[in-house]
């Protein structure tokens, strides 16, 4: 099942729609966000996916992390990663 | 009869209705809330006090002057000599304003019938004629250019398309100019918009037009501004009456419309002032123009009226350093979705921006480094090598890209409003939406249209089929990515 998410990558100037699937891992969601923002942001380095103020497990899936359609997710640079 | 005696008579033509009640003659739903009895409006007056004969004589002289300039300077030689970035800014301005001014004809005519004082109605009629002229001037200017520049056609076409800028501008202008009652129209358009934001468009831009040698455009802007300065005078006396009878309503309307106008005109004016005008011809930055023409005058006007500054003022002041930079970088990377070309800021431009925006520009340097590097890896003219393809997200209220806050932290807010979630670019947009959900709740932003299958998700389909653009008209880099400072990588 498709789960569209409002995605924001740290350092970017806009939000983009991330078309994830319920069984996508959150690492895959981060990769989609990186790809969407890569024209504007150097996305090398590690990013955490954050929702509701919590850093999410990258191995979790969209469904198991409790994300539902049109939730906000943020890809935040992991401390010390650049 | 001398002029003063005539005006005293002609401006006070209200009567006591006998066949219907006053509320039937001026229904609250269309005359506006709060609905007040005629006695509350009896002292209404505007300072310009123009007779119809004076109006016609003055406007005729203005038109004759502009026609002579158009004959002399409207030809292709003059247009070809203009900087490509500046020409793009003229296309942006003209398309946003031309048919919006036509919508303002309707707003003025509604006030010419349902305004609550005869002087208000009379001057609104002149305002409607003004706005008709303001529609025709950019249409005439750009019509002369269509044969050589298909993008100029968007001066007329923009609002007949579903491009994202068109959706955002329609959302604001339909409410501001077509859907509002005369009280809200007077406060929102005449007080907030025409005493603040039109100064940016018609005074600030006119200064820049002079600097770049676009005498015809400067003359058009200046000619329009003389009209704006007159019919702007309607706003304050209406607001004074509402402040005295319903201060909370007055405060809400000025706060709502200051934010809505800012959301639209920060990109429209900010793009031209800080990015599209050749750097060596620039004077003050967009932020400095806003500080001079909007902030000081607007706050002192609110103070004189006994109103507070908007609750979001601190956020607004912070946005002066960020919002149009956020949206410009976003729009540059989606430039095929608009009808005007855009300029890649090079070292000289970025040094200027760093001087003008010392607190915020360091956040944008790496973004332009990154976009420039995409151009370095490709050849001039290969637009889509430096163009984004993901679906951008838009605010449920202002319909603009989610580009508030800073690159470090986007200020968007997702709110669960059963049966669906909605997203706002900023707290003030959320506040306006949630204050009048019945007004805004049914409108679909671009993402909602895509998810509902009403708009194509494929970028090319969205640009061509939905936004009315083509390879001839969609926005490109104004210099095709060929800049002397941009060294291309060896491949």
Compute the mean pLDDT over every residue in chain B, rounded to the nearest whole number: 94
Cα–Cα nearest to B182, from B107, B103, B260: B107
Check CB contact of B390 with chain A, cutoff 8 Å.
yes
Tens-place pLDDT, residues B63-98:
999 999 988 888 888 888 999 999 999 999 999 999
Q: Max alpha carbon distance in chain A (Å)?
A: 35
Q: Is a pLDDT exceeding 90 seen at residue B232?
A: no
* CB-based contact, B370 to chain A, within 8 Å: yes
Reduced to 3 states (helix: H, G, I; strand: E, B; else coil), residue B413 is strand
Q: Phi/psi of residue B410, each to 5°?
A: -70, 135
Q: What is the nearest CA distance from A18 to chain B, expressed in angstroms?
A: 8
For residues B133 and B63, what is the distance between their CA atoms, to the nearest angstrom? 9
Q: Is the pLDDT of residue B14 over 60?
A: yes
Task: Please choose, from the candidates B257, B54, B198, B220, the residue with its C-alpha nearest in 3D space to the C-alpha of residue B141.
Answer: B220
**The token pair that represents A59 in the structure block:** 């191995």
B60 burial via Cβ count (<10 Å: 0-12, 13-18, 19+): exposed
pTM score: 0.96
Strands A47-51 and A72-77: antiparallel
Residue B297 pLDDT greater than 90, yes or no? no
Report the complex ipTM.
Answer: 0.96
Facing A13 at nearest CB: one of B329, B447, B451: B329
pLDDT over 70 (residue B231): yes
Which residues of chain A are within 8 Å of residue B333 when distances are taken between CB atoms? Answer: 39-40
**Residue A16 main-chain phi, psi, to 5 deg:** -130, 155
What are B287's two structure tokens? 């932020």
Asked if B377 reaches chain A (Cβ–Cβ under 8 Å), the answer is no
What is the per-residue pLDDT across B166-210, written as a single tens digit (0 to 9) for each? 999 999 999 999 999 999 999 999 999 987 788 888 888 999 999
Of B333, B320, B218, nearest to B262 by C-alpha is B320
Q: What percent of chain B has pLDDT over 90?
A: 86
- Which of A10, A39, A70 minimises the CB distance to B414? A70
DSSP-derived letter for residue B342 is B
**Residue B202 and residue B307: Cα distance in Å, rounded?**
27
B418 touching A, CB under 8 A? no
Q: How confident is the model at residue B473 (pLDDT cuts 50, 70, 90)?
A: very high
Q: Which of B193-207, B276-290, B316-330, B355-369 has the lowest mean pLDDT?
A: B193-207
| SS3 category, B416 | strand
Mean pLDDT of B369-374: 98
Question: CB–CB of A12 and B414 under 8 A?
Answer: no
Q: Please give the average per-residue pLDDT across B440-468, as a whole number.
A: 92
Q: What is the pLDDT of residue B76?
A: 82
Q: Which chain A residue's Cα is nearest to B362?
A: A11
Burial of B437 (0-12, 13-18, 19+ CB in 10 A): exposed
Considering only CA atoms, which of B258, B257, B263 is closest in space to residue B425? B263
Cβ contact A41–B366 (<8 Å): yes
CB B249 within 8 A of CB B305: no
Number of cross-chain residue pairs from A and B with Cβ atoms under 8 Å apart: 93
pLDDT confidence of residue A80:
59
Structure tokens at B448: 């909602």
Q: Can you read off the two tokens belonging to residue B408?
A: 């470090």
Instruction: Report residue B238 as tokens.
Output: 């209406």
Question: Sorting pLDDT into bands at 50, 70 and 90, what band is A79?
Answer: confident
* CB environment B326-357: b (16+ within 10 A), e (fewer): bbbbbbbbbbbbbbbbbbbbbeebbebbeebb
- CB contact (8 A) between residue A14 and residue B325: no
| Chain A contacts in chain B segment 306-365 (CB below 8 A) | 325-327, 329-330, 333, 364
Dist. CA B371–CA B193, nearest whole Å: 35
Chain B contact set for A8 (CB, 8 A): 402, 410, 412
* Residue A36, C-beta contacts closer than 8 angstroms, at least 6 positions apart: A7, A9, A16, A18, B388, B390
- Helix B84-114 to helix B118-146 angle, to the nearest 10 degrees? 150
Q: Which residues of B touch A16 (CB under 8 A)?
A: 390-393
Q: Is B46's pLDDT higher than 90?
A: no
User: Which of 255-284 (B) contact A at CB < 8 A?
Assistant: none
Residue tagged 């306006």 (tokens): B432
Whole-number Å distance between alpha carbons of B199 and B204: 6
pLDDT reading at B271 higher than 60 = yes
Strand partners, A3: A20
CA–CA distances in Å: residue A64 to residues A25, A56, A67, B132, B421: 9, 10, 8, 58, 20
Q: Which long-range contacts (CB under 8 A, 24 or more apart) does B448-451 make?
A: B450/A17, B450/B391, B451/A4
Chain B residues whose beta carbon lies within 8 Å of the beta carbon of residue A29: none
Q: How far is B360 from chain A (nearest CA, A)?
A: 13
Q: Which value, to the nearest 10 degrees, does the dihedral of the CA atoms of residues A31, A32, A34, A35 take?
A: 120
The contact set of A with B (CB < 8 A) is 4, 6, 8, 10-17, 19, 35-37, 39-42, 69-72, 74
pLDDT, one tens digit per residue, over A15-69 is 999 999 999 999 999 999 999 999 999 999 999 999 999 999 999 999 999 999 9
Cβ-defined contact of A16 to B374 (cutoff 8 Å): no
Question: Which pairs count as long-range contacts for B67-76, CB under 8 Å and 24+ apart, including other chains?
Answer: B69/B215, B69/B216, B69/B219, B70/B140, B70/B141, B70/B144, B70/B216, B73/B215, B73/B216, B74/B141, B74/B144, B74/B216, B75/B144, B76/B148
The residue that leads in pLDDT, B490 or B441, is B441
Q: Which of B391, B414, B421 sits opposite A16 (nearest CB)?
A: B391
Residues of A in contact with B270 (CB under 8 A): none
Interface probe, candidates B386, B390, B477, chain A, greatest A C-beta count within 10 A = B390
| pLDDT for the residue numbered B296 | 82
Interface test with A, best of B393, B396, B399, B406 (most A CBs within 10 A): B393
pLDDT interval class at A81 (50, 70, 90)? low
Task: Please judge whether A41 and B367 are an interchain contact, meaning their C-beta atoms are less than 8 angstroms apart.
Answer: yes
What is the full DSSP assignment across A38-56? TTTS---S-EEEEETTEEP
Confidence of residue B116 (pLDDT cuts 50, 70, 90): very high
Phi and psi (nearest 5°) for B372?
A: -60, -40
């Amino acid at each position: 099942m498709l789960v569209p998410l409002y995605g924001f990558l740290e350092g970017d100037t806009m939000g983009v729609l991330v078309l994830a699937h319920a069984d996508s891992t959150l690492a895959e969601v981060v990769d989609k966000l990186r790809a969407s923002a890569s024209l504007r942001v150097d996305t090398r380095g590690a990013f955490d996916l954050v929702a509701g103020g919590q850093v999410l497990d990258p191995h979790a899936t969209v469904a198991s992390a409790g994300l539902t359609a049109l939730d906000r997710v943020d890809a935040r640079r992991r401390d010390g990663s650049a | 009869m001398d002029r003063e005696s005539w005006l005293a008579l002609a401006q006070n033509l209200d009567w006591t209705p006998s066949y219907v009640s006053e509320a039937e003659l001026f229904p609250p739903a269309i005359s506006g809330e709060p609905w007040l009895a005629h006695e509350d409006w009896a002292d209404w007056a505007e300072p310009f006090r123009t007779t119809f004969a004076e109006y016609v004589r003055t406007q005729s002289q203005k038109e004759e002057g502009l026609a002579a300039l158009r004959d002399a300077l409207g030809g292709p030689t003059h247009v070809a000599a203009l900087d490509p970035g500046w020409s793009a800014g003229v296309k942006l301005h003209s398309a946003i304003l031309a048919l919006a001014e036509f919508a303002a004809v309707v707003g003025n005519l509604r006030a010419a019938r349902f305004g609550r004082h005869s002087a208000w109605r009379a001057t609104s009629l002149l305002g409607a004629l003004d706005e008709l002229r303001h529609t025709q001037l950019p249409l005439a200017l750009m019509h002369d250019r269509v044969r050589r520049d298909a993008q100029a056609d968007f001066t007329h076409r923009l609002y007949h398309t579903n491009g994202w800028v068109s959706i955002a501008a329609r959302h604001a202008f339909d409410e501001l100019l077509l859907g509002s009652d005369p009280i809200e129209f007077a406060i929102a358009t005449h007080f907030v918009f025409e005493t603040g934001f039109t100064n940016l468009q018609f005074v600030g831009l006119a200064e820049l037009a002079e600097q770049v040698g676009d005498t015809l455009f400067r003359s058009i802007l200046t000619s329009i501004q003389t009209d704006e300065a007159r019919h702007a005078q309607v706003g304050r006396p209406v607001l004074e009456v509402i402040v005295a009878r319903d201060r909370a309503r007055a405060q809400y309307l000025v706060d709502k419309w200051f934010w809505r106008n800012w959301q639209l005109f920060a990109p429209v004016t900010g793009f031209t002032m800080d990015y599209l005008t050749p750097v060596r011809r620039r004077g003050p930055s967009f932020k400095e123009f806003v500080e001079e023409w909007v902030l000081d005058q607007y706050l002192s006007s609110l103070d004189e009226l006994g109103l507070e500054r908007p609750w979001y003022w601190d956020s607004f002041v912070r946005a002066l350093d960020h919002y149009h930079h956020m949206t410009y970088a976003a729009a540059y990377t989606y430039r095929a979705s608009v009808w005007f070309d855009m300029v890649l800021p090079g070292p000289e431009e970025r040094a200027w921006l760093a001087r003008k925006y010392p607190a915020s520009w360091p956040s944008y340097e790496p973004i332009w480094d990154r976009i420039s590097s995409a151009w370095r890896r490709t050849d001039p003219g290969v637009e889509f090598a430096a163009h984004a393809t993901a679906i951008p997200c838009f605010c449920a209220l202002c319909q603009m890209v989610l580009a508030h806050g800073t690159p470090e932290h986007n200020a968007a807010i997702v709110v669960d409003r059963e049966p669906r979630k909605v997203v706002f670019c900023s707290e003030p947009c959320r506040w306006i939406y949630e204050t009048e959900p019945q007004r805004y709740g049914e409108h679909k932003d671009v993402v909602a249209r895509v998810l509902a299958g009403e708009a194509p998700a494929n970028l090319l389909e969205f640009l061509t089929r939905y936004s009315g653009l083509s390879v001839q008209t969609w926005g490109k880099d104004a210099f095709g990515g060929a800049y002397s400072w941009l060294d291309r990588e060896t491949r």
